[in-house]
A = this chain, B = another copy of it.
Amino acid sequence: MRDSPFESSDSVRSAAPLRYAQHATFAQPLPLELGGTLPSFTVTYETYGELSARRDNAVLVCHAISGDSHVARHSEDDDPGWWDLLVGPGKSLDTNRHFVICSNILGGCRGTTGPNSTNPHSGQPYGADFPAITVGDMVEVQRRLIDHLGISTLRAVIGGSLGGHQALTWAVRYPDRVRGCVAVATSARLTSQALAFDVVGRNAILHDRGYRGGQYYDRGEGPVVGLALARMLAHITYLSREAMTAKFDPSRLRPKDIPTAFEKKFSVGSYLAYQGHKFVERFDANSYVTLSMAMDLFDLGDTQAQLQTVLGRSQCQWLVISFSSDWLFPPEQSRQIVAALIAANRPVTYCNVQASGGHDAFLLEEKLSIYGGLIRGFLAHIDGQPATVRPQAALTTSADEPTNIFHGHRLDYDMILQLIAPGASVLDLGCGSGGLLARLRERGHSRLVGVELDEHAVLACAEHGLEVVQTDLEKGLSPFTDGQFDVVVLSQTLQSIVDTEGIIDEMLRVGRSCIVSFPNFAYYKIRTMLFEQGRSPKAEGVYPFEWFNTPNRRFPSIADVEDFCARKDIRTHRKLYLDSETRRWITDDPNRNADVAIFVLSR
């Protein structure tokens, strides 16, 4: 067994040149957050599309730990970009509409000043003398670049993973310069598990004998084993277990025969060895140590209250996206960000995209239609000039279809609209693709937020510029704070929630007033059907479901709900009853004659 797993020693730091890269050099010293200054620095960046005359269409893309400025191809014969899927003419981040900027981050090794840059004081590479930096320092460098480009306000900052940390930092540090923030697969700080993997990776690099205290540039091949090990390990954390099973289980004992002295007994081993080698060829170990430490130190607050204070400094609109199989930046971390933004009354749309790709999902095609669509829709509405991204007919897509005893139209919307005072803030639970919210928006309201579980409905909301937070109502309304909304609406959804007490308690906590519309299962037709025929009520068009496939889980009568409220000391301010077939208000024996009830509740 040789000490080095590498076939040749000339493998280091020979990545392909960036043909379209531009460079800006700043002679002013850069003070650093953890102390010290950089006497000067260079930023390498690429741009796509045209800056508008009003200079208001710039979108800054922030890259993750191993990325660079080359976010997308500039031409057909250009090298692939790391986010070609998303960025380009006509794509979700449409370079025909937006002026896209992506710069290599401070501490990187692809043109922007980093450990492999020349230290002007010594004339040698910084190496391990490169100062410790933070995500804040990276953002400060980006801010100077944006100034240099003559842009005062960014339409949006967008980033995934460590790029998301930069986007978050932009939003809270320069609130008047960011109109939209898109935080993808990211967190307010790393989990201890993610931190632990980084620690092991750095130890592998720093204790590789080739590291030589960080001054390895002209002395041998450098810490190539340590850097390759760090990359192999990190690579595992970017994939989901299910994705690895699908990719490597069928060929477990048939590895690719690649030139390496790393173990290649298993297919996953040869794959990791290949990834390790490839990374060592294009990345600098000191950069990896510098950037991963900056990521590990990133911390917007270890309590929800701190997070709320920090994120409350932002003034922008927010789009937060997580992926269900991402275990490195798990969805609950995005939910913490969302909860803090909501608590701080910041506008935010959130979706946890169902995807198998793990942390890498934001770079994969699997759910591009969802996350790309969310980004496209979000960007289209940032300027308050919504561009139609789908026909308005989408407002009546399947997510709005009746799931109950109703007809196809939503009669209760008319009534609910009348019950909501002008200008009130409204939270609509189970908002579907935003039908009620869209009608409220036409009237003008202080704040309108939807809650919905279905990701396609969330996407439809985002495409219409509606603010929606993906949440499972069975799990309560934890992102929302006490008394945060004037009105909380639960229209025709009560009966499909198992935890009735939970959702009612939560509504009364979050809303000063709550509107609940529900079908009356003691409606005379239902009673009669059961009494006379002994059958679960069903009628074409009216009660369209079978007993075994109805989405309903609870079957209360009006009297049952009244009794429930009385026993729970819930005040019922108004009770409205309707026969939805005849479209008439019911006053006589509503528990028999109304098929729909609307209650206005409070504590």
Tell me whether A213 is interfacial, beta carbon within 8 Å. yes
Minimum CB–CB distance for A232 against chain B, Å = 5
Tell me whether A484 is interfacial, beta carbon within 8 Å. no
Q: Is the CB of B209 within 8 A of A3?
A: yes
Give the interface SS of chain A, mostly helix, strand, loop or mixed: helix
Minimum CB–CB distance for A300 against chain B, Å = 13
* Stretch with Cβ within 8 A of B (4 or more), from A158-166, A169-177, A457-465, A549-557: A549-557
Q: Which B residues are CB-close (under 8 A) to A222?
A: none
Please give me the residue from chain B that is nearest to A567 by CB atom.
B546
Q: Is the CB of B225 within 8 A of A193?
A: no
Interface residue ranges of A163-209 to B (CB < 8 Å): 191-193, 195-197, 199-200, 202-204, 206-207, 209
Tell me whether A284 is interfacial, beta carbon within 8 Å. no
Tell me whether A33 is interfacial, beta carbon within 8 Å. no
Tell me whether A302 is interfacial, beta carbon within 8 Å. yes
Tell me whether A252 is interfacial, beta carbon within 8 Å. yes
A193 with B522: in contact, given A199-B272, A200-B272, A229-B200 (CB under 8 Å)?
A: no
Tell me whether A244 is interfacial, beta carbon within 8 Å. yes
Tell me whether A501 is interfacial, beta carbon within 8 Å. yes
Most interface-central of A268, A273, A521 (chain B CB within 10 A): A268
Tell me whether A564 is interfacial, beta carbon within 8 Å. yes
Q: Which B residues are CB-close (under 8 A) to A548?
A: 500-501, 554, 556, 564
Q: Is the CB of A263 within 8 A of B203?
A: yes
Minimum CB–CB distance for A81 against chain B, Å = 27
User: How many angstroms from the CA of A535 to the CA of B263 in the assembled complex?
Assistant: 70
Interface mask (A580-600 → B, CB under 8 Å = 1, otherwise 0): 000000000001100000000
User: How many angstroms from the CA of A534 to the CA of B594 in the assembled complex?
Assistant: 12
Q: Which B residues are CB-close (under 8 A) to A209?
A: 3, 209
Minimum CB–CB distance for A231 against chain B, Å = 10
Tell me whether A536 is interfacial, beta carbon within 8 Å. yes
Interface mask (A493-525 → B, CB under 8 Å = 1, otherwise 0): 000001011000000000000000000011000
Q: Which B residues are CB-close (under 8 A) to A263?
A: 199, 202-203, 206
User: How many angstroms from the CA of A507 to the CA of B285 in the assembled complex?
Assistant: 59
Tell me whether A269 is interfacial, beta carbon within 8 Å. yes
Interface residue ranges of A321-360 to B (CB < 8 Å): 327, 330
Q: Is the CB of A527 within 8 A of B531?
A: yes
What are 17 A-B pairs with beta-carbon distances under 8 A? Answer: A5-B203, A191-B244, A192-B268, A195-B269, A199-B268, A203-B225, A207-B225, A229-B229, A252-B302, A265-B296, A527-B530, A534-B558, A536-B555, A536-B557, A536-B560, A548-B556, A548-B564
